[in-house]
A and B are shown apart, each in its own frame.
Chain A
Amino acid sequence: MHPAPSVIAFTTFSGLGFGLLFWLGLGQPAPTGWVAFAFFALAYTMAVGGLLASTFHLGHPERAHLALTQWRTSWLSREGIAAIATLLLGGLFALLRMWSQSGPALGWLVSLGCLATVFTTAMIYTQMRTVPRWRHWTTPALFLTLSLAGGALLANRSTAALVLLALAAVLQLVAWITGDKQFAQSGTTLATATGLGEIGRVRAFMPPHTGSNYLLKEFAYAVGRRHALQLRVIGLILAFGVPIPLLAAGLTHMTALIAVLAHIAGVLCLRWLFFAQAEHVMGLYYGKR
């Protein structure tokens, strides 16, 4: 799949934003006044910024409101609704916090909304029968864990962050190990794609057009094997390898900043791989995997 910057930014930053909002909703931490404003502003900047980024790749962003209508079947629609509802409730909750009012029930509701939002985001990918690598329990698990871990890091919940980061690292490894086999295990091949397998070995000979097209650009992104391995290592180090020891050592302002930035960079890298390494079955028609 084409690793579009808008979608990478969207999933990464809205994940972090809703992750932070999750902890704020739980009252972990429970700042008030301008400090509250700063925390909520950070969460909203990332969550809303991510959502806005996601509209960059739309052909008609002016019609984006229509995307809220199809919650009965569409995970994207559900995600939109969840995100907006969560942000509205979260806004109310933020106002309460800034004026030092507590509202634990509302907070929990906000936290629940955050989980729902991140889960629905993940389900947009998980639901795809066309991308075997994504169609796995690790996708929502990893999205949620990364979101909460990043949120915990931003919320300065060191213990939670430490545990969640370690869990996310493990989940990421599991996702790669299982994911690398998913396509082959899906049973979809050029033989089933063309129905010609019973005659013999099928090979893509001439593509329909000599030039490229939307499908190839969108779905047939190829990452070199060595290149991918390097990026996986880099992603792991940045997202988990840097923050975990810093957390374990106890954060200072400076190391906290390093941990956060490294984590964000790492998640961006992992998200890039999430898309770039995902093979769409459509590619088979073009002789690609």
Chain B
Amino acid sequence: MTEPTLDLSRPIGDEVRKTTCYMCACRCGIDVHMKGGKVAYIEGNRDHPINKGVLCAKGSAGIMQHNAPARLRAPLKRTGPRGSGQYEEISWDEALGLATAWLKPLRETAPEKLAFFTGRDQSQSFTSLWAQGFGTPNYAAHGGFCSVNMAAAGIYTMGGAFWEFGQPDWDHTKLFLLFGVAEDHDSNPIKIGISKLKGRGARIVGINPIRTGYNAVADDWFGVTPGNDGLLILSLIHCLMTAGQIDVDYLARFTNASVLVNQDPKSPDYGLFIRDDELRPQVIDSRTGKLAPWNGEGVEPQLTGTWRNAGFTHRSVFHLMADRYTDTIHAPENVAERVGIPASRIRQLAADMADIAFNKPVVLDQPWTDFRGKRHEKMIGRPVSVHAMRGISAHSNGFQTCRALHTLQIILGAVETPGGMRFKPPYPKPATAHPKPHCKVVPGQPLNGPHLGYPQGPDDLCLTDAGDPARIDKAFTWENPLSAHGLMHMVISNAHAGDPYKIDTLFMYMANMSWNSSMNTCGVIDMLTDTDKDGEYVIPRIIYSDAYSSEMVFYADLILPDTTYLERHDCISLLDRPICEADAMADAIRWPVVEPDRDVRAFQSVLCDLGARLNLPGFVNDDGSAKYADYADYITHHIRRPGIGPLAGWRVGDTGLQDGRGLPNDNQLNEYIANGGFWSSHIPAEAAYYKPFNRAYQDWAVTMGLYDSPQPYIFQLYVEPLRRFQLAAEGPGHRQPPDRLRGQIKITMDPLPIWYPPFEDAHVDPAEYNVHALTQRPMAMYHSWGDQNAWLRQIHGHNPLYVPTKIWAKHGFKDGDWARVTSAHGSITVPVALQESLNENTVWTWNAIGKRKGAWALDHDAPEATRGFLLNHLIHELLPPKGDGLRWANSDPVTGQAAWFDLRVKIEKSGVPNESQPVLPPLASPVPKAPSQLRWKITP
């Protein structure tokens, strides 16, 4: 017998359609291979700036997501009680008529009675426009329980943070520090970056209680005890500052370390900057020894300046930093035990950073000119880079911890310099260039401005004239003044409690609030189904849009079925979370590579329709007709600012098509499709680094429409807006916090980074609840989106609780054992597994693998429902009472970020139950039963 002859040159399909992935929020480009009009195979787009051809497990499993049996098929109207799963399919006309009938009276009388919150939304600039047009102040997306600490700390400190905002300089960095990264986030760029570092022999340091994923390939692992990252970082700052291992020139020129601060406790401006008549903060110009504005032409700021002015002493920010961080309370020996890392290893890390930053700089032969007009002949970089995510963010000390991390980067001169961290357009963008929050409600009128923003002081809080919270989620109040992303996790409990007021309609998109997207899952389910004395639901109406039969679908009154990501238009816009890389400005689209085979519509197109029916400004023409036929129409024709629309590519200019600014182009989407679904424009070499301070970058950004005028700024090591809140808490000022919050604000709104213990430590007994409990998300599964996917659920079909050796041995656990895990709030009984590469006081599990029976078109005995579990049952949105008569939020006091990772538990061995506990009753699925076998081959 001879070898069979194989036909090895068959084409994959008959056509390739290039669009953008949406299996997570990473926004990779994909090549969708079509066969006979059907999706046959998906692989990465080699030309795409984000993923450069590679694709993760989720992306490659897109075909199973697109065809999942859990897809909703038509609009649904609830016919039984909430939670019963009893629905009837209705027409879109009826569905939209119903929604209009519910919402129109609200807009005319009390727009705030609509709470519109979107979850994993990639169209926030659009959904917020809709909400603004409606006139409700109650709009946000999911950032409040995701990573707002990171975003807000980054933007207030340095005008950008990680992921969409910034990235390590993968091509030059020599030491890369990775703090608590969720492995499903920024998934492919980080992996590509790690690959580059490995290829160049650069060092990777993982700082994470759990050594999996990226931490597994790290050269050094620091298994920090959760909630103590800030303490570790301040100790590194201590080591570097006391040794003088700091970039003095960078600090003087490009940070407010040289800005003078009023140091007289008797002054009404105590702790604030000296400003000139134009309100510009002042430095000492070392050329003259006199005061000068920070941005004055040719000014040489003096780092160690002091100044007496009108009888008040002023010292530079650097003085304050020197005093604080050289204090031996930050010495490694004094923090080692709490941090869970020996002092010698902390010193080793600090010494490594100093060595790489100052003995092994990256010098690029590229002249550039700073905003003061000074020409620099070279770009000198400190090749120490950092990336961090929810791990350090989702704590009640997360904001200050993130601030501390940025401070560490900045004292090394490692932000926006070669080898350090680099911003991606539209960043850098300082907090002052962002809007402030708006909340002024006038019935029948749009809101007075964007909902979300960056307050500069107490005057910018969203309070009513009576001083009460204006927003249902109490964002931008004294409890959490800088809640830049809103507090989605508080919406349902506040609406249920009628605190600060009752609402009528809860309108949500892609947010699984009755399951993994809420703390206190069972409590939230009770709130959604609770009725008042008249038998009416306490939250009277719930409208929900999702593509899949998620747990939240079962608690809505009206369901607007969304399309899959291959059936829709989207723009991954510069107004939102674009696909830019540090060297390029870029945006992208999704487009329907296949048409839906169900009676479903893209949610954004539905909002265009609903906006027109409700007569919302921006959604109707002057004659009252609908302004946008659908979302594609909006993407093409919406104008945000003169010359600026959702997409920056192929706009119409005076002489033809142009980038950045321009008039709408009817053919714009086709241009994107022809170019592979994205557009990008490279940043000139002279503008590539030092972007906040670099004239060439600032001018380029104006040309491209990122700014309307140059916006140079210096990094805010000392964040004056924090001090304004702190000052109010000390007494001065016309807007005053309630007395119960004064103490908290004084401590936590410190304008220089601090560390304080996670709040839960003071509310529960750390000796009894002696174990930290965390969740991580696997790289092959995104949030709850994945268990309806036949391929991915084989990889992660259930989730054990991983237990470190010490606890494993203490309880005598064996393979196959189960444990009862109890927090101050609740208890779960779950399977355990041993992990030796784990902080000795920490347990963890994969997030959102556990599923409710009946959801996601899975069988009731699916392992997700029988062995899978959620840690959410153990976490409450409020901390346990501590006897002061108050209930304190389980969140960061600066931003309101949900403090998921403060969780403390105790563990005991349990018997082996039939199923993970608690078991919730099954839901009646609104979609047909799934098939019992798959053989997914497209044969045309």
Contacts and interface: CB of A to CB of B under 8 A. Distances in A.
B797 interface: yes
A210 B835 contact: no
B886 interface: no
Contacts of B794: 209-211
Contacts of B796: 210
A210 B799 CA distance: 8
Interface residues of A, number: 7
A208 interface: yes
Interface string B369-383: 000000000000000
Interface in A178-223: 203, 205, 208-211
A61 B36 CA distance: 34
A209 B797 CA distance: 8
Contacts of A208: 795
Nearest to A213: B794
B798 interface: yes
B797 A210 contact: yes
A69 B1 CA distance: 9
Interface string B828-862: 00000001100000000000000000000000000
Contacts of A205: 835
A200 to B, nearest CB: 11
A210 B1 contact: no
A181 B189 CA distance: 49
Nearest to A212: B794
B863 interface: yes
Interface string B784-802: 0000000000111111000
A112 B794 CA distance: 51
A203 B863 contact: no
Contacts, number: 17
Interface in A55-81: 69
A66 to B, nearest CB: 10
B302 to A, nearest CB: 53
Residue from the set A209, A210, A211 with the largest chain B CB neighbour count within 10 Å: A210
B155 to A, nearest CB: 37
A64 B137 CA distance: 73
A211 B794 CA distance: 6
Contacts of A203: 836
Contacts of B1: 69
A209 B795 contact: yes
Nearest to B795: A209
A146 B898 CA distance: 70
B716 to A, nearest CB: 43
Interface in B798-835: 798-799, 835
B836 A211 contact: no
A205 B835 CA distance: 7
* Interface of chain A, main secondary structure: loop
Contacts of B835: 205
A209 B849 CA distance: 13
A209 B798 CA distance: 10
Contacts of B797: 209-211
A72 to B, nearest CB: 11
B836 A210 contact: no
Interface string A101-139: 000000000000000000000000000000000000000
A71 to B, nearest CB: 12
Residue from the set B1, B795, B798 with the largest chain A CB neighbour count within 10 Å: B795
Contacts of B863: 210-211
Contacts of B795: 208-210
Contacts of A209: 794-795, 797
Interface string A207-247: 01111000000000000000000000000000000000000
Contacts of B798: 210
A68 to B, nearest CB: 12
Contacts of A210: 794-799, 863
Interface in B1-26: 1
A121 to B, nearest CB: 24
A14 to B, nearest CB: 27
A50 B708 CA distance: 85
Interface in B760-803: 794-799
Contacts of A211: 794, 797, 863
A205 B1 CA distance: 44
A265 B799 CA distance: 43
B540 to A, nearest CB: 41
A55 to B, nearest CB: 22
A209 B799 CA distance: 11
B344 to A, nearest CB: 22
A265 B628 CA distance: 79
Contacts of A69: 1
B466 to A, nearest CB: 54
A145 B836 CA distance: 50
A245 to B, nearest CB: 43
A283 to B, nearest CB: 15
Interface in B490-504: none
B218 to A, nearest CB: 15
A257 B311 CA distance: 118
Interface in B863-884: 863
Nearest to B1: A69
A113 to B, nearest CB: 26
Interface in A1-41: none
A194 to B, nearest CB: 14
A81 to B, nearest CB: 16
Nearest to B791: A209
Nearest to A210: B797
A156 to B, nearest CB: 46
A41 to B, nearest CB: 37
A202 B795 CA distance: 22
Interface in B244-293: none
A69 B863 CA distance: 45
A210 B846 CA distance: 12
A208 B799 CA distance: 13
B684 to A, nearest CB: 46
A211 B858 CA distance: 15
Contacts of B836: 203
B793 to A, nearest CB: 8
A162 to B, nearest CB: 47
A209 B791 CA distance: 10
A210 B864 CA distance: 10
A203 B795 CA distance: 19
B836 to A, nearest CB: 7
Nearest to B864: A210
Interface in B28-59: none
A210 B797 CA distance: 6
A252 B448 CA distance: 106
Nearest to B867: A210
B546 to A, nearest CB: 25
A236 to B, nearest CB: 31
A203 B835 CA distance: 10
B267 to A, nearest CB: 59
A211 B868 CA distance: 12
Residue from the set A69, A203, A208, A209 with the largest chain B CB neighbour count within 10 Å: A209
A129 B197 CA distance: 41
A241 B1 CA distance: 50
Nearest to B849: A210
Residue from the set B1, B794, B863 with the largest chain A CB neighbour count within 10 Å: B794
A205 B836 CA distance: 9
A69 to B, nearest CB: 7
A209 B795 CA distance: 4
B355 to A, nearest CB: 26
Nearest to B815: A287
17 contacts: A69-B1, A203-B836, A205-B835, A208-B795, A209-B794, A209-B795, A209-B797, A210-B794, A210-B795, A210-B796, A210-B797, A210-B798, A210-B799, A210-B863, A211-B794, A211-B797, A211-B863
A-B CB proximity, top 5 nearest: A210-B797, A209-B794, A211-B797, A210-B798, A209-B795
Given A205-B835, A208-B795, 7 more contacts: A209-B795, A209-B797, A210-B796, A210-B798, A210-B799, A211-B794, A211-B863
